Chains A and B, each alone.
Chain A
Amino acid sequence: MKTKTIKKKDIASFLDTLLTRYEVFAPVERDERVVFEAIGAGSEATLDYQNTTMPPKGILFPQTEQLFSYRSTKDTADIAVPSFKEKPQLIFGIRPCDARSFLLFDHAFDGDPYYINRRGNTLLVSIGCTHPQAPCFCTSVGGGPFSEEGSDLLLIETGDQYLIQIVTDRGAQLLEESGFKDAGKDALTLAQKMIKTAEASMGAGIEIDGLKEKLDSSFENPIWQELTEKCLGCGVCTYLCPTCHCFDMVDEAEGSTGERIRIWDSCQFPLFTLQASGVNPRPTVKERFRQRIMHKFSYMIESYNQIGCVGCGRCITECPVNLDIRQVVHTISKLEALS
């Protein structure tokens, strides 16, 4: 595999070059928080961050998005579909877990032109995690702090420079004419050391082997009641989750014109499955929380042969009541079979 190096101080000017061809999204500091935003200059980006509270999923799957606009009277209905943005875009400094999450989106949005167009138009330059955090568990769900899956380029911090791992041809093209040096033996050795140290610092995480079978056979287990008793039923875990992709569709109208938009929705909300008849197959947090776990660790494996979780830990960090997905999964995996 080809590797290059870039000095940390050259990152801003590299981004400036990329900005001539791409719309670039990068982590920036806003009100003491780091968020992904479209940048105007390379100097706005910061790579000195743990992870953003909000995943960058909104760049490819916006929280609010127009599907089409319409003009409708009693006897006419004209529909206009928004044109797709032509300019290619790039997400710079995305964490490997978040880069992997788009591989799941690729399955979930198979056949969705809005996502597919953006996705085809987007490159991912990820930055490996030298300091995995306490809630991180990417290694137990098939990823890793330096996983290159889903990325076009992967940056590995090595002292005052980054090693650039070239993952795809599209990634390689980004570096053409950059003049970056091939990585030397020392840089490669140092990178290996950084990777080893980071991986060794990861917590125990979750046990995936046999989990799906356990979940499937424990669907009716009363333990779900106990596990979810403290759940507030809010949407933090789903909205902050890089793999959650459920949405609602609504009309926003003004007189005879309007637009049909789609908006993130959450399986944790009672309205999500409430039928017009008043019947709700998931009436309490127990069914709704179970759905979230089942979807990620059973249904997605059945449908896409992939675990529906990348182990970013956001739902753990930000859950207002510290309902920890790792603990839930652990409890289920340790259950004795119901007789």
Chain B
Amino acid sequence: MPEVTKKIREIARSLLQEKKVDLVIGFEQGTLPLRATPCFVRGEKEVDRLVWDSFCENNLATYLIKRAERVAIIAKGCDVRTIVELIKENQISRDQVVIIGIPCQGMFDRRQVEAVLQGKEIQEVTEKDGQLILRGGSFKETLKRDTFLYPSCITCTHRNPVIYDLLVGDPVPELSTDPYQDVEEFEARSAEERWEYLIKEFTRCIRCYACRNACPLCYCQECFVDSSSPPWIGKTTDESDTAIFHLMRAFHVAGRCTECGACERACPVGVDIRKLNRKLARDVKERFGYESGVSLEQVTPLATFKPDDPEEFMVNP
């Protein structure tokens, strides 16, 4: 059993035993190869369901909202950033949550891995030294971690939890590559090309709202897409409606989005949802020196006003 899994179970067991929490939210083995699935543990007997591997892709912070219980949560670097934002937005209280932080080396993109296999049935999955070894009836594939990570893991800036109550595993080195290189490339294109790209992406959208529902920061009581009076947005999959949905959503999470990538991983049709989110995240970082979810103290820039806020956009769109 991997060391981290063992440690997580020990911690969960003692937290429940000592009645420090009512619930531990973590991951258990999924029902398909390459999948882990969220798991809610309330009793010591269930503790051994908990696992940790490179398929723990969900941002579990989404389950913290509107919960009355005291909760321990397994959190990767990006998940912790989300928890920080949720605390700042008064959606959860710091005392209610025990953060079991896990330094993260990135999660495997199951769709990319499946693409390599071309439908061959996986019988055994093992992880060793940053490699994924897949075995089936007639094949063995060894995949290097770094080439099969989720896009959000490749551009991750905080693999190590910024706050935590307990840390499981050793800190990992942060990535040294420029996280916004793709945004810069996107910006370098002409306005027409950018629009064409976004529209092509949005056109695939089927309005299932998996992105919104997977996003821990999309917690509005009534989402603007659901309002009937007034109906802010049409319900069709026409490009105008889907574009408005994604543009509005990007603005709603601007300066808050922690770039965890939960939206994109949830999307069944592969819309590049993060492009806009990351463009806005970088703008907020450049203009206000703010990176979401890295400090409990720093004020969210779009939730405050300063007389000397940069405002070139008002004259130079």
Contacts and interface: CB of A to CB of B under 8 A. Distances in A.
Establish whether A and B are touching in the complex (CB under 8 Å). yes
A316 B63 CA distance: 20
Contacts of B33: 134
B115 interface: yes
Chain B, interface residues (CB within 8 Å), range: 35 or more
Interface in B198-227: 204, 206-210, 212-214, 226
A201 B270 CA distance: 29
Main secondary structure of the interface of B (DSSP, over half): loop
A271 interface: yes
Given A135-B32, A322-B32, A324-B31, A234 B238 contact: no
A280 interface: no
Contacts of A324: 30-32
Contacts of B209: 234-235, 269
A234 B212 contact: yes
Contact of B210 (A135, A234, A248): A234
A235 B237 CA distance: 14
A316 B32 contact: yes
A236 B31 contact: no
A269 B225 CA distance: 12
A232 B208 contact: no
B119 A133 contact: yes
Nearest to B231: A250
Contact of B37 (A50, A230, A261): A230
Interface string A233-253: 111101110000000101010
A323 B37 contact: yes
Contacts of B151: none
Given A50-B119, A317-B32, A230 B266 contact: no
B266 A236 contact: yes
Contact of B266 (A53, A232, A238): A232
Interface string B33-46: 10111111000000
B52 to A, nearest CB: 16
Contacts of A317: 32
B58 A321 contact: yes
Interface in B209-267: 209-210, 212-214, 226, 228, 234-238, 262, 265-266
A235 B121 contact: no
A53 B210 contact: no
A63 interface: yes
A250 B236 CA distance: 9
Nearest to A271: B226
A134 to B, nearest CB: 5
Given A252-B236, A317-B32, A31 B62 contact: no
Interface string A306-339: 0000000000111011111011000000000000
A314 to B, nearest CB: 8
A230 B38 contact: yes
B214 A320 contact: yes
Contact of B236 (A226, A234, A239, A263): A263
A261 B236 contact: yes
B173 interface: no
Interface in A277-323: 316-318, 320-323
A211 interface: no
Nearest to B112: A32
A271 B207 CA distance: 14
Given A31-B270, A230-B37, A317-B32, A239 B238 contact: no
B270 A33 contact: yes
B172 interface: no
Interface of A: 31-33, 50, 53-54, 63-64, 131, 133-135, 201, 226, 229-230, 232-236, 238-240, 248, 250, 252, 261, 263, 266, 269-271, 316-318, 320-324, 326-327
16 contacts: A32-B115, A133-B121, A232-B266, A234-B209, A234-B214, A236-B210, A239-B207, A252-B236, A263-B235, A266-B208, A317-B32, A320-B58, A320-B213, A320-B214, A321-B58, A323-B37
